[in-house]
Amino acid sequence: MKIEKISENKLKIMFSSKELEENNISVHSFLSNSKQSQNFFLAILDIANEDLGFNFSTSNLIYDTISFNNKFFIIIVKQILNSYMENCNNEFIYKLDSNTELYAFCNALNKIIPNLNFKSSLYQYKNFYFLKIDFKGLDEKTKEKNIAIISEFKTAINFSKLALIRFEEFSNLLIKDSAIQALI
């Protein structure tokens, strides 16, 4: 594994599928953002903090992963300012592994968030469902409260703008703008 500090707020992490196997993580598990792969990623960030002074604990991160034939991986991690996140990131995507998990997630949100006053769209890619929640138009306090509530159940996937465009291009849009309301 090799970790490079590209700039004050950007890291490049390179590793092989063999290193994943050494940590009891399959390539499939890593690419599907499993709990094991998340722990592996956090351990890498801890190493970056200790060795390179890359402190990620007080900031938001975005990352892009590049895979070369599922044998070699590069992850670019960038720290972003909270104000950037608040001003630019109004769309959050949540991956759900089955229709049972999807319905349970939507029903839980319906019970704990009054009015569901945000847009939600449902996509399918391969055998997975992705719920995109758009908080545009909400005041900051309501947006932050909704994000906090949802994060108790599920962690959002961070896509770059380019990755989001590609995701929307290659996935199948099932329900536009009112997915949660349609599924409850």
Collapse the DSSP code of 73 into the 3-class scheme (helix H, G, I; strand E, B; otherwise coil) and give the result: strand
Q: Contact at 8 Å (CB) between 180 and 131?
A: yes
Q: Is the pLDDT of residue 69 over 80?
A: yes
69, 128, 39, 162 alpha-carbon torsion, rounded to 10° = 60
Domain ranges of the chain: 2-81, 89-183
Percent of the chain clearing pLDDT 90 (strictly above)? 23
Mean residue pLDDT across the chain: 84
Give 89's contacts (C-beta < 8 A, 6+ positions apart): none
Query: How many other C-beta atoms are found inside a 10 Å radius of the C-beta of residue 134?
Result: 14
Centroid of chain to Cα 156: 4
Residue 142 scores a pLDDT above 50: yes
For residues 57 and 75, give the distance between their C-alpha atoms in angstroms, rounded to a whole number.
Answer: 18
Note the pTM of the prediction, 2 decimals: 0.53
In CATH, what number does 89-183 get? 3.30.70.1950
Segment 77-133, tens digit of pLDDT: 887 654 444 444 678 899 999 999 999 999 988 888 877 888 999 999 999 999 999
